[in-house]
Copies of this chain bind each other. A is one copy, B any other.
Amino acid sequence: MPYRRTPKVQERLDAQRATIVAAATEQLAEHGYSGCSVSAVAERAGVAVGSVYQHFPTKADLVVHVFRQVVTREVDAVRAASARPGEPAERVLAVFETFAQRALKAPRQAYALLAEPVDARIDAERLEFRRAFTDVVAEHVAAGVKAGALPPQDGRLTAAALVGAAAEVLIGPLTSGNAGDVAELRTFVVRALGGSDARHA
């Protein structure tokens, strides 16, 4: 009789996989990619190194999986923050304030997502990450232009610029350990949008 994976076994496998992913996510958040050696992840998950490879063919696949999961969480967070009622410019601001606050609360993780030198696979994921982020911002900028609350501009270009700006501004504090100045970033975004708030900011 051929071996068949019973539901019970499958359940245990799924649970183990989740444990491993959770351990890798925590390692990433606390120690970045340097802390994501397979042995460190396995130890944290309470499994053998070999068990990690039962679920992921290579370490890179595990790390990419974790990266995507964390990024999805972050993009969802800023999307939710910007979905709350308000002027388009305020929605854009909500995106970046949420982004910055979350990054500064988990600086090691943010650095890993944004800039920590790793490999080509993660580099490619980062491009995707920024594109997703830009999509969220671009919508609100375009809405602002359409409503006349913002001066005429290419929404996607402004959005890309703001995403690049926010990422670059955060990398400094994340690297040096200094608390970044979120208020200054806010001022920059307001001015760059050219919204009516620009004068009082």
Contacts of A153 in B (CB 8 A): 184, 187-188
B120 touches A118 (CB 8 A): yes
Chain A count of residues within 8 A CB distance of the other chain: 41
Q: Within the complex, which residue of B164, B172, B192, B198 is in contact with A167, where a contact is CB–CB below 8 Å?
A: B164
Q: Which residue of B lies closest to A134 (CB)?
A: B168
Name the interface residues of A117-161: CB closer than 8 Å to any CB of B.
Answer: 117-124, 127, 130, 134, 153-154, 156-158, 160-161
Contacts of A118 in B (CB 8 A): 120, 123
Cβ of A194 under 8 Å from chain B: yes
Cβ of A44 under 8 Å from chain B: no
Shortest distance from the beta carbon of A201 to any chain B beta carbon, whole Å: 9
Report the 10 A-B pairs with minimum CB-CB distance, sorted nearest first. A164-B168, A117-B123, A161-B165, A117-B120, A164-B164, A192-B192, A165-B165, A117-B124, A164-B165, A160-B168
Apart from the given pairs A117-B124, A118-B120, 7 other A-B contacts in the complex at a CB distance below 8 Å: A117-B120, A118-B123, A127-B171, A157-B169, A160-B169, A191-B192, A192-B192
* Residue ranges of A at the interface with B (Cβ–Cβ < 8 Å): 115-124, 127, 130, 134, 153-154, 156-158, 160-169, 171-172, 175, 181, 184-185, 187-188, 191-194, 198
